[in-house]
Amino acid sequence: MRTTTRRPLAGALVLGTALLALSACGSSDDGDKDDAAAGRPLAPSSAAASPSPSGSKAPARNEAVKETKPSGPVESDDKLEPATGSFTKKEKKFLSGRVPENMDPAAVLQTGQEACDRLKLTASHDKDAAVGALITGEIPDAVAAIGQLCPDQQPLLDRARQGFTEGTKKNPSPGTYRALTADASTCTWQALGAGGRTLASGPPQGTNPEKVTVDVPAGTEKFVSQGCYAWLPA
């Protein structure tokens, strides 16, 4: 018997709907603001402050594709029990090493359940939106939740691991990428080679393309972008 309560699906619907309105947000793959300055960003500073699809700023690093756990003391596994009833084996695996001391494990489990609900609902409307949310780290505990609570969402995580956030990406693999922003007119980018030499850039300012696709040439040492939200191989 499980005693944890799950947020109504309607709450997840609001979150999922918000994700569909993808917009630009300022972030950097390695958090190095000096790199962006060295790359002479093409977009104005206001683009970097644009809200992310969830209405909040995306993190500076692509932490979504890494499983994270509390840095402080955590409850031992033998104390991971709800007030009444019991957790399933998968729920216990999810909670192991994730519950800070003196915190209700049911609350941590609910975060994981909500991550699964949000991913499923968003992906049912727009898989790119769900993958983008994983790339930018907007869904807390998503990696662990997929691993234990909703493994059917693993393809989304596998796809997200192929992408990276806007900002500065060092030594990207050459190839074709597409931006996941819903407002492609805000997306600007530069591929920089040795000595900061511009190898490619675009799209032109003032255009309103339906999507942004770029060819990152071999020899690119830094790929600098703003207003593009996140990138995936095309």
pLDDT tens track for 110-153: 999 999 999 999 999 999 999 999 999 999 889 999 999 999 99
* Average pLDDT for the chain: 77
Secondary structure in 3-state letters for the chain:
CCCCCCCCHHHHHHHHHHHHCCCCCCCCCECCHHHHHHCCCCCCHHHHCCCCCCCCCCCCECCCCCCCCCCCCECCHHHCCCCCCCCCHHHHHHHCCCCECCCCHHHHHHHHHHHHHHHHHHHHHCHHHHHHHHHCCCCCCHHHHHHHCCHHHHHHHHHHCCCEEEEEEECCCCEEEEECCCCHHHCEEEEECHHHCEEEEECCCCCCCCCCEEEECCCCCEEEEEEEEEEEEC
pLDDT tens figures, 167-217:
999 999 999 999 999 888 889 999 999 999 999 998 765 555 578 899 999
| Residue 120, amino acid | K
Please tell me whether the peptide bond between 203 and the residue prior to it is cis, using omega within 30 degrees of 0.
yes
Q: Residue 231: which pLDDT band, with cuts at 50, 70 and 90?
A: very high
Q: Name residue 93's amino acid.
A: K
Q: How far separated are the first and last CA of the chain, in Å rounded?
A: 45
- Which residues lie below 8 Å from residue 208, measured CB to CB, with a gap of 6+? 184, 185
Average pLDDT of the residues in 39-66: 40
**Can you give the pLDDT at residue 183?**
85
Quote the tokens at residue 208. Answer: 């309103």
Task: State the Cα–Cα distance between residues 189 and 80, nearest whole angstrom.
Answer: 47
Judged on CB neighbours under 10 Å (0-12, 13-18, 19+), 83 is: exposed
Q: What is the mean pLDDT of residues 2-17?
A: 39
5 has a pLDDT exceeding 80: no
Q: Using one digit for the tens of pLDDT, what is the confidence trace for 81-107?
A: 998 889 999 999 999 999 999 999 999
Residue 53 has pLDDT above 60, yes or no: no
Give strand pairing partners of 232. 178
